[in-house]
Chain A
Amino acid sequence: MTQTGSYLYAIAAPVGDDVLGGLRGVADEPVRAVRHRDLVAVVGTVDIGPDGPFGEEALAQNLSDAGWLAAVARAHHAVIDGVARAVPAAPLRLATIVADDDGVRDRLERWQDGLRRTLDEIAGHAEWSVKVHAPQPADPDTDPQPAAGAPGAGAAYLLRRKAVATARDDALARASAVAGQVHEELARHATDARRLAVQDQRLTGADTPMSLNGAYLVPVAGADAFVATVEELRERYPDCRFELAGPWPAYSFVTVEEP
C-alpha cells in the first residue's frame, strides 16, 4: 500500500512557480508551495509507506547508508538553495515529514509570527562559512635517527618526541588564538555570527585540525567587503589555512528546529 507524506524543505516568502518549477526534491519529485496567509511551505510528496524510502523502517536504515544520506542531503540542500536564492527562506532539517498539506498549513499557522520575524531579519542576507585550519607543526628534526640499541638513541628519541609534542601544542595554541581573532573580526562584518563545532579531521581530509568553523550572516550588499576581509585575514595569518564558502541559505541562523 502506498502512503504519502508532505516532505518540508523550507518556509519562505511567497515564491513563484517559475522558481519551483526548476527544482526537484529528495525523491526526484516536483516541489510545490503550500500557502497559508503570507508564508509558503515548500514541500514535495514522498512515499512513507512501508516499502517507500521514507517509510519508518526504511528511513532508519537509509540514514545509516552514507551514500543514500549524501544524495538526499544534496537534493534537500538544492531545493532550499533554489528557493533561498529567490526569496527569504527558513530551511527545515532533513526528512521533516508531515502527513499531508493540511498538516503543513497547521505548522505554518503555528510558526507564522516567529518565522515572519526571522525571515524579515535574514532578508537580504546570506550565510557564509569561514573555516580555519591549524598550521603545520614545525618539524623539529629530520636528521636520520639512531636505531634502537645505539648508545644515546634512547635519550635522543625522548628529546625528539618531546620536541614533536611541543611543536604540536604550539601549533594548536596558535590556531586557537587565530580562530578567536578571525571570528571576532568577521563577526564585526556580519549581522550575526556563530561558531559551529569544528569538523572532524578525517571528514575534512585536512592535514591539521580545524580550529574555527564559523558561520556568518552577511548582508548581500556587504558580501564583497566580507570576502575581502577574509582575504586580508588570510594574508595576516599565512601559516593557517582558510576556507571560505558561500553564499548559502541562512541555515545556521534560521533553520526551523522545532517540529
Chain B
Amino acid sequence: MTAPVHALPARIDADADSVERDLFKLVLTVIELIRQLMERQALRRVDEGDLSDAQVEALGQALLRLDTAMAELRGRYGLTVRDLDIDLGPLGSLLGGG
C-alpha cells in the first residue's frame, strides 16, 4: 500500500500579494495587542489618580496618535480591528474581542 505521492503540501498560497497581506496582518496584530495593553495600563493609571493633568494629556496624545496610525495602516489592506484578533481556542481570543 503506497501512500499517495504529494509533490507539494496540500495548502500552498504562493501568491505574493496574499503573503504580504498576511504578514502585514500578523505584524498589525502584535502591534494592536501592545497598543491595547498600553491603553488599559494608561486608563488604570488615570483611574488611580496619581498622574498630573499634563501627564494625562501627554499619555492620551501618544495613544491617540498610535490609534490614528493603526487605523491608517489597517486601511491599507482594508482590515478591521476584529480581523486582527486571533482565536486561541480554549484560552479565548488574543485581543479579547475588544
Q: Using a CB–CB distance below 8 Å, which chain A residues touch chain B?
A: 1, 50-51, 57, 61, 147-149, 152-158, 161-162, 165, 168, 200-202, 209
| Main SS at interface, chain A | helix
CB distance from B38 to the nearest CB of A (A): 11
Most interface-central of A152, A156, A158, A200 (chain B CB within 10 A) = A158
Interface residues of B in 15-65 (CB under 8 A from A): 39-40, 42-43, 46-47, 53, 56-65
**Size range of the chain B interface in the assembly:** 20 to 34
Task: Return the chain A residue nearest B43 by Cβ.
Answer: A162
Q: Are the CB atoms of B46 and A162 closer together than 8 Å? A: yes
The reply to whether B82 and A202 contact each other, CB–CB distance below 8 Å, is yes
* Interface, chain B (partner A; CB < 8 A): 1-4, 10, 39-40, 42-43, 46-47, 53, 56-65, 67-68, 82, 85, 87, 93, 97-98
B53 touching A148 by the CB < 8 A rule?
no
Do A153 and B4 touch (CB < 8 A)?
A: no
CB distance A168 to B60 under 8 Å? no
Nearest B-chain residue to A209, judged by Cβ:
B97
What are 23 sample pairs from A and B whose C-beta atoms fall under 8 A apart? Answer: A50-B1, A50-B3, A57-B4, A147-B68, A149-B61, A153-B61, A153-B64, A154-B59, A154-B62, A156-B60, A158-B46, A158-B56, A158-B60, A161-B39, A162-B46, A162-B47, A165-B40, A165-B43, A165-B98, A201-B82, A202-B85, A202-B87, A209-B97
